[in-house]
Amino acid sequence: MAISLHNIIPVLNADFQGIETDIHINNISIDSRSLQNNENTLFFAIVGPNNDAHIYIGDLISKGVKNFVVTYIPQRLKDKANFLIVENTLFALQKFASYYRNLFHFPVIGITGSNGKTIVKEWLNFLLSPDYNIIRSPKSYNSQVGVPLSVIGINEHHNFGIFEAGISTKGEMENLQKIIQPSIGILTNIGTAHDEGFADISEKIKEKLKLFTNVEVLILNKNKTIEAFIKSEIKTFTWSTNDKSADVFFQKKTFDDYSILNITNEEKCFKIQIPFTDEASLENSMHCILTMLYLKYDLDTIEHRVSQLFPVEMRLKVKKGINNCTLIDDSYSADFQSLKIALDFLENQKQHLKKTLILSDIYQSGLEDENLYARVSQLIISNKINRVICIGDIISKYKNKFLNAISYVSTNDFIDDFENLDFANETILIKGSRHFEFEKIVTLLEEKTHETVLEINLNAISHNLNYYKSKLNPETKIMVMVKAFGYGSGGFEIAKLLAHHKVDYLGVAFADEGIELRQAGIELPIMVLNPEMTSFPSIIQYNLEPEIYSIRGLKAFIKITEQKELTNYPIHIKINTGMNRLGFDDEIIPELISILQKNDSIQVKSILSHLAASDDLTHDIFTKKQISDFDIISSKITRELKIYPIRHISNTSAISNYPQAQFDMVRLGIGLYGVSNDINETEELENVGTLKSIISQIRTLDIGESVGYSRRFMVEKPTKTATIPIGYADGISRSWGNGVGYVLINEQKAPIIGSICMDMLMVDVTEINCFEGNEVVIFGKNPSVTTIAKAINTIPYEILTSISGRVKRVFYRE
């Protein structure tokens, strides 16, 4: 891409205010953190419901970015950069993408539907790539933002496009149609589930079909309800497994680990073997087969390529590596677009100063090798990668283009040399095409633990934060509580995300937790709830801010700040209003005030109290009394000291139940992690943590046998059991055993039978089709921690924070 700013202004219908328009734009960005931003970048300041990228513009200008699409020029930045002022920056991005798309003329497949979009897209890419230079949506980039960003990736060498489109409400598809402009349409399916964004199913169908307004053909599963909405001028190419009037008729037979499809098309019959047995994969492969038939592929080619389809892994996963490394596992694809995304992700996640990239040959860039690797080298330099490990004979030839690069012709050569590479204390991005089998490298680099993982969805955390933000007055600040290792979900990774979201404060319980965050590079202000006096020196050393709750603590802290000759060191004053845990009682306030008056080594940054029952409206009167007492006492302090500290009392439940108690800041805790004490609110939140394990062993038991310690489960009918390697030492309470609780295997409930052991538990899988090695969900969306907490008479907080440190945390973005 090289388009002059001058030409972009009329496309966006923008009002230009700036320095010069004679600038070539070769990079579009909406991510303020991307190291790929430079002086030729055009940055679109997207405004979400609770997030406004205009706040990053100042930082970006100081990093050399010059061109911005905005709805207003932020204060004091006028004349500092080029501004294209528009009414709506998202629409502007879409307009630009649609303009850009019009510069190219080649076949484009547009895919939409409720499920399977990404898999069909990835499979078609695999099936068609030997014959075309394909541009496709990276990952699941199918939203109002994702689609324009995907299309902007087209370059002059591409000759085929595959893009997916996802919508959640009426009116969205028209925009996406204009950007994708598909010539071939695929409708994967339309779920019957009620979506909030649509009045009813027919509105949903009509909206989705808008993607196909101008296609030459629409490929879909034959379905009378849907066909009634398709305009007669649109040609369809349909398949079915029960309606012989479809253009292509499939009969399927499934075996242990593969299926055979008998296919009838235009009176010809043929057979294809598919390496899957589940319904969804079979449907997805049928859409692919129809596309190949439509594109006039011969049967041998179809059969050969379809038999090689593979499971699709779309997520970038962050894993703990050996020798204190952090791995970013993207070991299934290596195209230029997704490399850019992965490098941005690496920058956002990095926990170590040193960054290493392991990269295979790159396919399908549409570019000549020379040009391609020159661009890759540019990317690597701007992302400040310290070490590049090239694997593959093509990339090896260009290794001199990369600084500090080592190369291997094959993955096995790399593995042979592994011991000499000294991986330690670095973040490693592993990115390779499928056939390089980089999963072998991931296995080598991954820290060895047992097979239980707690997966943390970083997107869900952002969603939940934004949800609570939307409930606050715009000027209310947010402190996020990341105590107890982020409620069990991970300290640093979550803090880093919160820093990006510019929350105002972090809260931890003990100084050690704050020190860990500082050592990992977190610069946000951090309040320590329960600072022990012995930790005061390190609190100061690491620039942490203590909560002071007693005269004894206050005097001790003042003494240290005076010894160090500090002035105005920030502290937080905790008032007890009825929780009766920590805090100054009402009658000590005069003494507190007089000490504070006399000392300028410290400064009251905030005054806080804590509510005892904000989640339980039966204590409404008590809570309101706490709030008004806090107001009175804190006002007295501020009045007498003539200071203006931040005042705060609300935790998660109070944000919803007592909006009048926001004062200047709230302290968000459990809600961020996807749990609310209110059922309706829980529906608005996204699940963050999913605790997963696998089946170690399956056995069949006869009547009279027993399971586990003390023989607490007696077999009364022939029973198939599965053993799962997770137990009470991992944090699964024993009360959840003996028929009370269950796990999820293949989406079905498997009751826990017998007592939960220290490191294992057993479940009944008599009714479930499953095998050793299959995945098991201990908690997540279902069963939720709230469900478990209710059943065993505790609270979700305890379940989340009980998950032992030996359970590996894996962070991912969708």
- Binding site per annotation, positions for substrate: 581, 758
Contact 531, 555 (CB under 8 A): no
The nearest distance, CB 675 to ligand PLP, in angstroms, is 8
Q: Is the CB of 491 or the CB of 725 nearer to ligand PLP?
A: 491
| Bridge partners (DSSP) listed for residue 134 | 160
> x/- contact string, 687-716, with ligand PLP (CB under 6 A)?
------------------------------
Q: Is the CB of 472 or the CB of 529 nearer to ligand PLP?
A: 529
Among positions 479-498, residues that touch ligand PLP (CB under 6 A) are 481
Task: Give the interface segment with ligand PLP, choosing from 388-396, 410-418, 433-441, 651-659 (CB under 6 A).
Answer: 651-659
Q: Using the 8-state DSSP alphabet, how is residue 321 labeled?
A: B
The nearest distance, CB 547 to ligand PLP, in angstroms, is 8
Q: Which two three-digit tokens encode residue 169?
A: 């409400």
709 as an active site residue: the answer is yes
Q: Is the CB of 359 or the CB of 554 nearer to ligand PLP?
A: 554
Q: Which residue out of 253, 258, 555, 709 is catalytically annotated?
A: 709
Among positions 510-539, residues that touch ligand PLP (CB under 6 A) are 529
| Side chain identity, residue 501 | H
The nearest distance, CB 673 to ligand PLP, in angstroms, is 8
Contact 462, 497 (CB under 8 A): yes
| Bridge partners (DSSP) listed for residue 43 | 29, 68
661 binds ligand PLP (CB under 6 A): no
Token pair 């060191």: residue? 569
Contact 167, 199 (CB under 8 A): no
Q: Is the CB of 432 or the CB of 669 nearer to ligand PLP?
A: 669
**Rg of the chain taking only CA atoms, in angstroms:** 29
Contact 457, 688 (CB under 8 A): yes
Which of 651, 687, 693, 733 lies at the binding interface for ligand PLP (CB under 6 A)? Answer: 651
| Bridge partners (DSSP) listed for residue 455 | 690, 810
66: left (phi over 0), alpha (psi -120 to 50) or beta: alpha
Contact 528, 511 (CB under 8 A): yes
Among positions 558-617, residues that touch ligand PLP (CB under 6 A) are 610
The nearest distance, CB 782 to ligand PLP, in angstroms, is 22
Q: Cα-flanking dihedrals φ and ψ of residue 555, to 5°? A: -60, -45
Measure CA of the first residue to CA of the last residue in the chain; give whole Å: 27
Task: Give the interface segment with ligand PLP, choosing from 160-168, 185-193, 330-338, 669-677 (CB under 6 A).
Answer: 669-677
Q: Is the CB of 508 or the CB of 757 nearer to ligand PLP?
A: 508
Contact 505, 525 (CB under 8 A): yes
Give CA separation, 572 vs 531, 623, 654, 662, in Å: 11, 22, 20, 17
The rounded distance, in Å, linking the Cα atoms of 373 and 361 is 10
The rounded distance, in Å, linking the Cα atoms of 705 and 717 is 10
Which of 146, 669, 741, 754 lies at the binding interface for ligand PLP (CB under 6 A)? Answer: 669
The nearest distance, CB 616 to ligand PLP, in angstroms, is 12
Q: Using the 8-state DSSP alphabet, how is residue 447 labeled?
A: P
Task: Give the interface segment with ligand PLP, choosing from 33-41, 422-430, 518-526, 664-672 (CB under 6 A).
Answer: 664-672
Q: Which two three-digit tokens encode residue 256?
A: 């242990």
Q: Is the CB of 206 or the CB of 790 nearer to ligand PLP?
A: 790
Which of 86, 274, 385, 670 lies at the binding interface for ligand PLP (CB under 6 A)? Answer: 670
Q: Is the CB of 142 or the CB of 651 nearer to ligand PLP?
A: 651
| Bridge partners (DSSP) listed for residue 752 | 763
Task: Give the interface segment with ligand PLP, choosing from 85-93, 165-173, 496-504, 650-658 (CB under 6 A).
Answer: 650-658
Estimate to the nearest angstrom the gap between the alpha carbon of 370 and the chain centroid.
Answer: 34
Q: Which residue out of 95, 117, 139, 483 is catalytically annotated?
A: 483
Q: Is the CB of 124 or the CB of 495 nearer to ligand PLP?
A: 495
The nearest distance, CB 671 to ligand PLP, in angstroms, is 6
Using alpha carbons, select from 649, 667, 685 the residue that is nearest to residue 477.
667
Q: Cα-flanking dihedrals φ and ψ of residue 703, to 5°? A: -50, 135
The nearest distance, CB 528 to ligand PLP, in angstroms, is 11
The nearest distance, CB 475 to ligand PLP, in angstroms, is 20
652 binds ligand PLP (CB under 6 A): yes
Task: Give the interface segment with ligand PLP, choosing from 321-329, 344-352, 646-654, 806-814 (CB under 6 A).
Answer: 646-654
The nearest distance, CB 545 to ligand PLP, in angstroms, is 14
The nearest distance, CB 725 to ligand PLP, in angstroms, is 30
The rounded distance, in Å, linking the Cα atoms of 44 and 57 is 10
Q: Using the 8-state DSSP alphabet, how is residue 53 labeled?
A: G
Residue 146's H or E segment, with its range, is helix 146-151
Among positions 614-643, residues that touch ligand PLP (CB under 6 A) are none
SS3 673: helix
SS3 301: helix
Q: Is the CB of 441 or the CB of 608 nearer to ligand PLP?
A: 608
Q: Which residue is nearest to ligand PLP (CB)?
A: 669
Using alpha carbons, select from 231, 225, 241 the residue that is nearest to residue 287.
241
| Bridge partners (DSSP) listed for residue 697 | 723
Q: Is the CB of 668 or the CB of 688 nearer to ligand PLP?
A: 668
Q: Is the CB of 411 or the CB of 652 nearer to ligand PLP?
A: 652
469 binds ligand PLP (CB under 6 A): no
The rounded distance, in Å, linking the Cα atoms of 138 and 338 is 6
Contact 24, 17 (CB under 8 A): no
To the nearest 10 degrees (0 to 180), the angle between helices 5-12 and 89-101 is 110
Task: Give the interface segment with ligand PLP, choosing from 465-473, 665-673, 690-698, 776-784 (CB under 6 A).
Answer: 665-673
The rounded distance, in Å, linking the Cα atoms of 115 and 138 is 17
SS3 318: strand
Q: Which two three-digit tokens encode residue 49?
A: 């419901």
Per 3-state DSSP, the chain is made up of helix, strand and coil in percentages (nearest 5) of 35, 25, 40
Task: Give the interface segment with ligand PLP, choosing from 17-25, 448-456, 666-674, 711-719 (CB under 6 A).
Answer: 666-674
**Surface-to-core class of residue 130, CB atoms within 10 Å of its CB (0-12 exposed, 13-18 middle, 19+ buried):** exposed
Q: Is the CB of 220 or the CB of 670 nearer to ligand PLP?
A: 670
Which of 208, 667, 692, 813 lies at the binding interface for ligand PLP (CB under 6 A)? Answer: 667
Q: Which two three-digit tokens encode residue 188?
A: 């994967």
Cis peptide before 783 (omega within 30 of 0): yes
What residues are designated binding site?
A: 581, 758
Using alpha carbons, select from 498, 537, 513, 517 the residue that is nearest to residue 672.
498
Q: Which two three-digit tokens encode residue 272?
A: 């294809």
483 as an active site residue: the answer is yes
How many of the chain's residues bind ligand PLP (CB under 6 A)? 11
**Active centre residues (catalytic):** 483, 709
Summarize as ranges the residues that interact with ligand PLP (CB under 6 A).
481, 529, 610, 651-653, 667-671
